[in-house]
């Protein structure tokens, strides 16, 4: 039998495999690979769990956002309704106040008119009495005085009738 280099390669290969089997290298490699596979599976499981948790959190956040949007719409509509009611109420108050002020002004005008009429009456009475006094003091004749008094009295009555009507 001829021992050539192929033989030695085969012998060294068998020795190499035997050493590997003796030191349990394939089992250690297998264990290491199994451990890596287990770690990868646990990381995948953990990432799935995190993904589910994040999906739940996203759903919760979305529902909170939806409810906040709904609340915002409700608040906006309520504020709009309140402002419209307030505008109507303020408008009514304004009209009522203007009506009250108008009535007060009309009352003041009528009071001023009555006061002016009274002042005119008082002035005419004063003028008439002053006229009568002047006539009495300047006249000497009693018959003349009676005629003037009657005439002035008639004029004063006529003036008072005009003022009253």
How does pLDDT run across 57-68, given as a tens digit for each residue? 999 999 999 999
| Domain membership flag for residue 44 | yes
Q: Does 125 fall in a domain?
A: yes
Parent domain of 126: 23-164
Least confident among 50-54, 88-92, 101-105, 150-154: 150-154
pLDDT band per the 50, 70, 90 thresholds, residue 165: low
Q: What is the mean pLDDT of the chain?
A: 88
Q: 18 in a domain, yes or no?
A: no
Does any domain span residue 12?
Answer: no
Tell whether 2 is covered by a domain.
no
Contact 124, 160 (CB under 8 A): yes
Number of domains observed in the structure of the chain: 1
Report if residue 1 sits inside a domain.
no
Is 17 inside any structural domain?
Answer: no
Mean per-residue pLDDT, 41-69: 95
d(CA 35, CA 46): 16
Phi, psi angle pair for 3, to nearest 5°: -100, 110
Cα(86)–Cα(82) distance, integer angstroms: 6
Question: Is there a domain that residue 11 lies in?
Answer: no
Predicted structure pTM score = 0.42
Return all residues near 120 (Cβ < 8 A) that are at least 6 apart: 163
CA angle 32, 37, 39 (to 5 degrees): 95
């Amino acid at each position: 039998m001829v021992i050539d280099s192929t033989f030695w390669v085969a012998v060294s290969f068998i020795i190499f495999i035997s050493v590997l089997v003796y030191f349990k290298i394939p089992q250690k490699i297998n264990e290491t690979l199994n451990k890596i596979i287990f770690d990868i599976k646990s990381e995948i499981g953990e990432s799935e769990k995190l993904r589910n948790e994040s999906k739940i959190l996203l759903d919760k956040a979305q529902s909170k956002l939806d409810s906040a949007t709904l609340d915002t719409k409700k608040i906006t509509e309520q504020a709009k309704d309140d402002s419209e009611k307030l505008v109507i109420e303020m408008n009514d108050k304004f009209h009522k106040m203007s009506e009250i002020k108008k009535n007060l002004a009309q009352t003041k005008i009528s009071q001023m008119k009555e006061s002016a009429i009274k002042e005119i009456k008082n002035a005419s009475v004063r003028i008439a009495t002053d006229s009568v006094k002047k006539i009495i003091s300047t006249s000497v004749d009693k018959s003349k005085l009676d005629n003037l008094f009657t005439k002035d009295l008639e004029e004063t009555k006529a003036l008072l009738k005009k003022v009253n009507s």
